[in-house]
Structure 1
Amino acid sequence: MHGLGELEAAVMDVLWRAAEPRKVRDVLDRLDRSLAYTTVMTVLDNLHRKQWVERELHGKAYLYRPTLTREEAAARALREVLAASGDPHAVLMHFVASGSDEETDILRSALRRKRVRRT
């Protein structure tokens, strides 16, 4: 995910897949890597500081949950790419031109819904 390091993205993936908030140990146990508990704790603390996760003290441990859905985070990343491109119009035109028929239909539908909400 744009704006996240590799380990941060892996931790966010664990949280996005979870049905409920997770403790550091839960996240560590679900990662496909051999890491120290303190490493995962530091990553979660950094994600909290960056406002990717919120935490709530539960007993002696924090429970972590994402502040955005995976889809909302992806949309934010796309917005940042457009803003950094220098020419959002050209980027969008290239993006649309490279899209599949299904993706084009999804974009058309979303634009129609947006217009209806504005009126």
Structure 2
Amino acid sequence: MQGFGELEVVIMEQLWASPDGATVPEVHRRLSAQREIAYTTVMSTIHNLYRKGRLTRTREGRKHRYQVTASKAEHSAGLMRDALNSGGDAHAILSYFVQQMDPEDTRRLAELLAGMEEDSDL
């Protein structure tokens, strides 16, 4: 799983924030309120995300409604998994990652791991 390009991130953020998905005109309208961007740029970027399997689409009249294939959390977890499997020392990667976490996240991770151990003991 690879990360997204700059515009892909902006578009994915719009789609992650839209539980029912969005059409190209809807995404373009939202982005145009924030910055100058061509309709065709939005359209081609959304099509590329669809082609890469990051979006699904359903026909609505003459348009398509696009929806994400993975939540933002699932995407982030995939990036973390890829980093861990990158061929480096997995122990070192995990150690550095945990050292960079804030104490609250470290506590949540410990609770999650403890819960997983309890579930596997059943």
The alignment's TM-score, normalised by the length of structure 2, stands at 0.88
Counting matched residue pairs gives: 118
Q: Gaps (5+ residues) in structure 2?
A: none
The alignment's TM-score, normalised by the length of structure 1, stands at 0.90
Deviation of 1:85 after TM superposition, in Å, equals 5.2
Q: Percent identity?
A: 36
**What is the CA–CA distance in structure 1 between the aligned matches of 2:21 and 2:100, rounded to whole Å?**
38
Report 1:47-86 matches (<5 A).
47-84=49-86, 86=88
Q: Gaps (5+ residues) in structure 1?
A: none
Correspondence 1:90 to 2:99:
no
Deviation of 1:47 after TM superposition, in Å, equals 0.6
User: Do the aligned partners of 1:85 and 1:91 also contact (CA within 8 Å) in 2?
Assistant: no
Deviation of 1:72 after TM superposition, in Å, equals 0.7
Correspondence 1:30 to 2:19:
no
Paired residue type of 1:12: M
Deviation of 1:51 after TM superposition, in Å, equals 1.2
Query: Post-superposition, which runs of at least 4 consecutive aligned residues in structure 1 deviate over 4 A?
Result: none
Q: 2:111 corresponds to which residue?
A: 109
